[in-house]
């Protein structure tokens, strides 16, 4: 079921991207799905982390229920076999949970959570490599009607659903954009389903392996490659390669873009078309704002005929490359007035707002004498 959702989604993305390698990948994934019972019947070996009694202050209340009513405490990481349902429990009568966001995105019916007086239970039927990620539970404490998470009693286990056919945690996004910013670490999120896999980072053109060292480029199987201090030189198309035994596997591709817009209110300009306006003309007033690539820009307008004249606004954005390999998001709001009347002449004010502040620009439209 879950795999089919993935296929459909990938198929949709393929349609959009018209990407030849996407088709190939889709085919490969499909083949895997069709051959879930592997010849030779090789089984994924289960290894449960051993938690030393009394070793950790405030022992984890997060446990996994095994067959025959046995329990094991989950440590910071755990490895489980895909396909087999898992049941996690957390002791307490008021418990909150978190799990990989992927499970919510697809409103997955494989996941269920039940609460009882003594514990809370999370069940995930037929888990797959894509469900690899952090599973966490915590005690909810209430003071009157205000409830909050007890940070002292929050437990998390990163669960690997190790699947030799999917060394990388499958991603619904085939081609991901990663923004690089000065003085901020960037992550190339090629996570693996087996913590023992040997993973390397590669640039596509020119083909080059990026060597990890313990300072500037590091690999964390639960995150991916972390670039501590990214620079313009790190731009380009990258992919990861993973290997346990046998043939290496390739991750999805990542486009790394360098962004150097200072964080602040947007740069905004306002333009009127046509340049000179007469009564009866149709006009466009265009408000253009520059900001950071992944940041939303909100526009609002104040104009003379407000609430009295029908106007249309149309908002759009696109990414553009500026000099020196930087990328900026150009957002536009176009206000259209048809058949200019006396009431429509005057001050047009555009307010553009992003997460860092607001910029207001204004232009006065005066009628041109005939």
Q: Which residues bind ligand NAG (CB under 6 A)?
A: 107, 211, 213, 215-216, 273-274, 282-284, 296, 298, 336, 353-355
Please tell me the distance from the alpha carbon of residue 345 to that of residue 364, in angstroms, as a whole number: 8
Of 98, 208, 206, 86, the residue nearest 149 (C-alpha): 98
- Residue number, 75 or 266, with CB nearest to ligand NAG: 266
- Residue number, 108 or 163, with CB nearest to ligand NAG: 108
- Residue given tokens 């046509």 in the structure block: 274
- Residue number, 107 or 369, with CB nearest to ligand NAG: 107
Q: Which residues contact 69 (CB under 8 A, 6 or more apart)?
A: none
**84 to 125, 140, 191, 253, 298: CA distances (angstroms):** 7, 30, 21, 30, 47
Q: Could you tell me the two tokens for 261? A: 């817009």
3-class secondary-structure state, position 7: helix
Please tell me the distance from the alpha carbon of residue 301 to that of residue 351, in angstroms, as a whole number: 6
Q: What are phi and psi of 152, to 5 degrees?
A: -70, -30
3-class secondary-structure state, position 344: helix
| Residue 92, phi-psi category: left (phi > 0), alpha (psi -120 to 50), beta (remainder) | left
Provide, rounded to whole angstroms, the least separation between the CB of residue 219 and ligand NAG. 13
Provide, rounded to whole angstroms, the least separation between the CB of residue 353 and ligand NAG. 5
Provide, rounded to whole angstroms, the least separation between the CB of residue 298 and ligand NAG. 4
Taking the CB of residue 201, how many other CB atoms lie within 10 A of it?
22
Q: Strand pairing partners for 35?
A: none
What single DSSP character describes residue 52? P
- Residue number, 145 or 213, with CB nearest to ligand NAG: 213
- Residue number, 133 or 291, with CB nearest to ligand NAG: 291
Provide, rounded to whole angstroms, the least separation between the CB of residue 214 and ligand NAG. 7
Provide, rounded to whole angstroms, the least separation between the CB of residue 250 and ligand NAG. 22
- Residue number, 164 or 300, with CB nearest to ligand NAG: 300
Q: What are phi and psi of 32, to 5 degrees?
A: -60, -45
Provide, rounded to whole angstroms, the least separation between the CB of residue 205 and ligand NAG. 18
Provide, rounded to whole angstroms, the least separation between the CB of residue 217 and ligand NAG. 6
What single DSSP character describes residue 183? T
Provide, rounded to whole angstroms, the least separation between the CB of residue 109 and ligand NAG. 6
- Residue number, 21 or 200, with CB nearest to ligand NAG: 200
- Residue number, 94 or 98, with CB nearest to ligand NAG: 98
């Amino acid at each position: 079921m879950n795999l089919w959702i993935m296929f459909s989604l990938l198929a949709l993305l393929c349609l959009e991207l018209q990407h030849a390698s996407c088709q190939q990948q889709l085919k490969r994934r499909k083949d895997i799905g069709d051959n879930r019972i592997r010849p030779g019947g090789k089984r994924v070996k289960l290894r449960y982390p051993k938690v030393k009694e009394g070793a950790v202050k405030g022992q984890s209340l997060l446990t996994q229920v095994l067959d025959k009513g046995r329990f094991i405490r989950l440590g910071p990481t755990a490895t489980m076999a895909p396909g087999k349902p898992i049941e996690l429990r957390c002791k307490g009568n008021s418990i909150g949970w978190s799990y990989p966001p992927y499970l919510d995105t697809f409103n997955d019916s494989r996941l269920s959570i039940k609460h009882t007086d003594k514990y809370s239970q999370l069940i995930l039927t037929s888990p797959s490599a894509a469900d690899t990620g952090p599973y966490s539970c915590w005690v909810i404490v209430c003071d009157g009607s205000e409830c909050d998470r007890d940070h002292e009693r929050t437990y998390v286990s990163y669960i690997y659903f190790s699947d030799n056919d999917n060394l990388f945690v499958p991603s619904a996004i085939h081609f991901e954009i990663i923004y690089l910013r000065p003085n901020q670490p960037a992550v190339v999120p090629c996570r693996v389903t087996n913590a023992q896999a040997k993973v390397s980072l590669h640039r596509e053109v020119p083909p080059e392996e990026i060597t990890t060292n313990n300072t500037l480029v590091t690999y964390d199987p639960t995150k991916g490659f972390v670039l501590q201090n990214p620079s313009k030189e790190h731009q380009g198309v990258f992919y990861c390669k993973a290997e346990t035994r046998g043939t290496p596997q390739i991750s999805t591709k990542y486009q790394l873009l360098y962004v150097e817009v200072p964080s602040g209110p947007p740069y905004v300009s306002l333009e009127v078309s046509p340049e000179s306006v007469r009564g009866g003309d149709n006009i466009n007033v265009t408000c253009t704002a520059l900001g950071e690539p992944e940041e939303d820009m909100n526009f609002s307008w104040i104009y003379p005929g407000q609430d009295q004249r029908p106007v249309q606004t149309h908002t759009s954005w696109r990414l553009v490359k500026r000099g020196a390999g930087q990328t900026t998001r150009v957002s536009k709001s176009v206000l259209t007035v048809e058949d200019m009347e006396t009431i429509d002449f005057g001050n047009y004010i555009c307010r553009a707002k992003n997460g860092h502040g607001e910029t207001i620009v204004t232009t006065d439209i005066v009628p041109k004498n005939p």
